[in-house]
Structure formats: C-alpha cells, structure tokens
Amino acid sequence: MSEIPFWRRKTLAQMTPAEWESLCDGCGLCCLIRLEDEDTGEITPTRVSCRLFDAEACRCTDYAARAQQVPDCIKLTPGNVGRLAWMPLSCAYRRLHEGKDLPYWHPLLTGDAQSVHAAGVSVRGQTISEATLAEPEDAADYLAPEWLEDRSGD
C-alpha cells in the first residue's frame, strides 16, 4: 500500500469520485456571485452567494440536485478546471491542476473539517444570499473586498 496520499500520486482525472469530492474544503468561495464586464470580460466577485448556499454551514443546501436547481452552477471536472480562471487561488482543484500541493489548512491534512474556517479562508458567515436581493443587479452593491478572493492558500 502506498504511503503517498492519493492527491500526490494521482492526477485529477485518475481520482475516484470519493477522492475527487474530498478535495473540496468547503470554503464556499466558488458559490459567490461573480459579475462579468460585457466589454472587457473582467470578472468581479461579490459577497452575494448563490441562493442555495447556506451561509452558516458554508455548504450547498442541495448539492445532489444543484444542476436542476441552479442551471448555471458549473460542475467542476478534471477537464474544465484549467479553463475557469475565476476559481479561487486557494481551491484544491485549482492548486493540484497547477502542480501545487494542498494548503496546510486543508481538511485532508488536518483531519478537521473546521480547519478551513479556523484559517480564515472560508466565507462562512460573511455572505448575503441572492435570494434577499430585490433585483439581481443589486449584487453590484456588494463587491467583494480584495481579501475574499486573493487567497493563495499558502
């Protein structure tokens, strides 16, 4: 049996579904609404979360049926992770795709699902739901502070 953990000896495409899912640290950063400038393509994150996001649990409330509930929720795959430039720098999928290791606070290393929150990386308790906005355009009033996205995980 190899002593090397799966995320260091397998590519993303070689991982089992369970291994793949365990890479998600539950930071919630990818569940924030992002605004795209029609002219420049520039993407700006907001503090507004998807309507299915539970701000305190920092989790999707219907992960299994998310595609039906939120059609524009992008399903992350080994094939598209490299094309999603807006994915947070700290995201394990992005980091492994870029040849980096997991960050020190990742639950797979700490054995503690709370370590992502303790490290201050997650958005737990810091978002507002898009369901509370009067109009979708109001998300522009809640642009995310820089620290929300600029997290390398190092």
Of 10, 66, 97, 100, the one binding ligand SF4 by CB under 6 A = 66
48 forms part of the interface with ligand SF4 (CB under 6 A): no
CB of 128 to ligand SF4, least distance (A): 14
Residue 130 interacts with ligand SF4 (CB under 6 A)?
no
Closest CA to 91 of 5, 29, 22, 13: 29
67-126: which residues touch ligand SF4 (CB under 6 A)? 70, 73, 76, 88, 91-93
Q: Is 12 in the site for ligand SF4 (CB under 6 A)?
A: no
**Binding region for ligand SF4 (CB under 6 A):** 24-31, 50, 52-53, 60, 66, 70, 73, 76, 88, 91-93
